[in-house]
Every structure is written in structure tokens, then in C-alpha cells.
């Protein structure tokens, strides 16, 4: 029998990630009581119907009362408001974490809202799908996926113990845990996740706006490449709007580099520099092999669900 790491878990936002976390934590036996606060009435109804929580409410303060672990699983720009709503009701010694896809601004929002005597340990599971809501969640979502924790620059023992306990929690859910500086996390994710989503949103938008090619043709002749982009571009609009607003600096920096490289590619195509094209396509094939070797792509695409984005 697994050890209960947190007698009471409170999750703020019981959507895809929040509900998956509850399912996984219960399956692993590492939490006792579970309370959920969600702003959406529909989500609350589904959370009750699915039997995900012992207590479901719209009131954040009510949910976090007596909780040992509070997980904020709302869109990135809603984190501050949710943390402020929780602040006065938090238990002394509780650990506050989140699952937001951007770390520096969310960490600042949590720290600003948190009262003294609670431990803020921001986090981000690199696991997800393009679905939203409690029904889309599943217990295996975090299995063999990375969770990045971005602890504060604190060296006191109670804080380090809280960080370790949270790392143990994620490991019990099947994840690998890495610690990272929040700003570095935002740069890494701008490359590996945020820019790819921006490209997908843009290419699908471009195809939709083309006048010479009809939308019916775009859908009918959707080849593998475009089809994959449409899956990514179907991701939740609120969540992605928030990510680009909250990670503006890192995304713009990487976008600048990307645009320069794209210009070089455009030149190579214009001037028939086939060696340059071949060299790049060979190099990128190696990177794909590296991703597979790193275990971040399985031969079976996980029942059709993508466990990596964003």
C-alpha cells in the first residue's frame, strides 16, 4: 500500500489536467480526501457525476480549507486570481503548486498571493492532449512523462522538504521529475511547445484564408503534415491565448530565430540550393531519432491520445 503523502488534496480547476491528476493520485493511493473548486458549472456537474472528488464547489476558499496540497490547474492568466481567492483560507504548512505551461509569471503570481508559512513550488507536467474538461482526463496521462518543478531560491529545510515531497508525489503518479529555473523553463518550452503551436495555428489559418484553394479541398486532400497541424491547432483557445501572453519574451526571442532560419530556407529554395535543403532534412531526421530514443514518442500512439503537448 502506497504512503499517503497529502491527507487532503485541493485542486482548483478540475479540467483535463486537474481531473487527470486526481485520477492518478487516487490510483496511486498518495492522497486522502479530495476537494475541487471549478468556476464552470458544467465542469462541476461532470466532476460530481464522475465521482472525482469528495467535495466540489465553485468557491476556491472553501476547497482549500485544511488542504495539505493545493494544485492550481486553471489557465495561466487565471492563476493569480485563483491564488488570491485561496490565500486567506490556506492552512499553515500547506504546499501550493500549479500545472501551468508558463512558469516565471505564474510563480510570481503565486508567491505574491501566498501568505507566509505556506510553501510555493511551481510545476509543469509535460503531458496533455488537445482536449479539455473533466471527461477528457485519465489516470495514465503522466505515466513516463516529465514534470518540471521550478522551486523558489530558498534553502531552508522545511521548504526543501516540501519540494522533495512534491517530487515524490509526481513520481508516485509515474512521472520523471526535473528541477529547473523558471525563466529557463519558459525558454525551453517556447522552443519545444509554444512555437510549434503558433506555427500550427498560423498554417491552419493560412490554409483557411487561401482564396485560390477552397476549404473543401483543404479538408479533402489533407495530407499527413497538414492533418497533424489541425490536431495541434484544435487545442484550447483560452489556454493558448494565455500561454502566448504570459510567455511573450521567450516566444518572441525564439520566433525571431525561427523567422531568420525560415528566410534562409526560402533563399535555398529560390536559388535551387538542394545541398542545403538535404543537409537540413538529414539533420532533423537525426533529431527525430533522438526524440524516440529519449522515450518521448511511443510506437503505439497511446490510444490515439498525445501525451506530450504542451
Task: Please say which residue, 17 or 24, places its beta carbon nearer to ligand NAP.
Answer: 17
β-sheet with 6-12: strand ranges across: 55-57, 31-37, 6-12, 69-72, 95-98, 119-120
Please give the Cα distance from 141 to 175 (Å, whole number).
9
φ, ψ (nearest 5 deg) of residue 57: -150, 165
Q: How many CB atoms lie within 10 A of CB 9?
A: 27
Cβ-proximal residues to 105 (8 Å cutoff; 6+ apart), any chain? 76, 246, 247
Per rule CB under 6 A, is residue 133 in the interface with ligand NAP?
Answer: yes
Please give the Cα distance from 72 to 15 (Å, whole number).
11
Count of residues binding ligand NAP (CB under 6 A)? 31
**Residues 52-71 interacting with ligand NAP (rule: CB under 6 A):** 60
Cβ-proximal residues to 60 (8 Å cutoff; 6+ apart), any chain? 12, 37, 82, 85, 86, 89
Task: Please say which residue, 31 or 37, places its beta carbon nearer to ligand NAP.
Answer: 37
Task: Please say which residue, 20 or 95, places its beta carbon nearer to ligand NAP.
Answer: 20
Binding mask 187-216 for ligand NAP (x = CB under 6 A): ------------------------------
Shortest spacing between CB 265 and ligand NAP, in angstroms? 29
Please give the Cα distance from 65 to 55 (Å, whole number).
11
Say if residues 52 and 168 touch (Cβ distance below 8 Å): no
Choose one: 97-105, 173-181, 221-229, 260-268; the region binding ligand NAP (CB under 6 A). Answer: 97-105
Task: Please say which residue, 15 or 151, places its beta carbon nearer to ligand NAP.
Answer: 15
- Give the total residue count for the chain: 310
Binding test (CB under 6 A) with ligand NAP, winner from 5, 104, 147, 309:
309
Binding test (CB under 6 A) with ligand NAP, winner from 30, 53, 78, 200:
78
Task: Please say which residue, 128 or 151, places its beta carbon nearer to ligand NAP.
Answer: 128
Shortest spacing between CB 293 and ligand NAP, in angstroms? 23
Binding site for ligand NAP (CB under 6 A): 12-13, 15-18, 37-40, 43, 60, 73-76, 78, 81-82, 99-101, 125, 128-129, 132-133, 236, 239, 309-310
Amino acid at each position: 500500500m502506497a504512503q499517503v503523502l497529502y491527507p487532503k488534496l485541493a485542486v482548483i480547476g478540475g479540467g483535463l489536467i486537474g481531473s487527470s491528476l486526481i485520477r492518478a493520485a487516487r490510483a496511486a493511493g498518495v492522497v486522502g480526501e479530495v476537494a475541487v473548486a471549478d468556476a464552470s458549472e458544467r465542469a462541476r456537474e461532470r466532476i460530481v457525476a464522475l465521482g472525482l472528488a469528495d467535495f466540489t464547489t465553485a468557491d476556491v476558499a472553501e476547497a482549500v480549507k485544511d488542504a495539505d496540497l493545493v494544485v492550481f490547474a486553471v489557465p495561466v492568466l487565471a492563476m493569480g486570481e485563483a491564488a488570491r481567492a485561496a490565500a486567506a483560507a490556506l492552512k499553515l504548512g500547506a504546499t501550493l503548486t500549479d500545472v501551468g505551461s508558463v512558469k516565471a509569471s505564474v510563480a510570481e503570481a503565486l508567491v505574491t498571493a501566498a501568505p507566509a508559512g505556506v510553501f510555493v513550488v511551481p510545476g509543469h507536467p509535460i503531458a496533455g492532449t488537445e482536449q479539455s474538461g473533466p471527461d477528457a482526463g485519465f489516470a495514465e496521462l503522466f505515466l513516463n512523462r516529465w514534470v518540471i518543478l521550478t522551486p523558489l531560491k530558498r534553502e531552508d529545510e522545511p521548504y526543501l522538504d516540501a519540494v522533495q515531497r512534491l517530487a515524490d508525489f509526481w513520481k508516485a503518479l509515474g512521472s520523471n521529475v526535473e528541477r529547473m529555473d523558471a525563466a529557463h523553463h519558459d525558454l525551453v518550452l517556447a522552443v519545444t511547445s509554444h512555437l510549434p503551436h503558433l506555427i500550427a495555428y498560423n498554417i491552419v489559418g493560412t490554409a483557411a484564408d487561401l482564396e485560390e484553394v477552397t476549404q473543401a479541398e483543404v479538408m479533402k486532400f489533407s495530407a499527413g503534415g497538414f492533418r497533424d497541424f489541425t490536431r495541434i491547432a484544435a487545442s484550447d483557445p483560452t489556454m493558448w491565448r494565455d500561454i502566448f501572453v504570459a510567455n511573450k519574451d521567450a516566444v518572441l526571442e525564439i520566433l525571431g530565430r525561427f523567422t531568420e532560419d525560415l528566410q534562409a530556407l526560402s533563399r535555398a529554395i529560390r536559388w535551387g540550393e538542394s545541398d542545403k535543403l538535404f543537409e537540413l532534412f538529414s539533420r532533423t531526421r537525426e533529431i527525430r531519432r533522438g526524440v524516440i530514443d529519449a522515450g518521448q514518442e511511443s510506437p503505439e500512439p497511446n490510444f490515439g491520445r498525445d501525451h506530450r503537448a504542451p
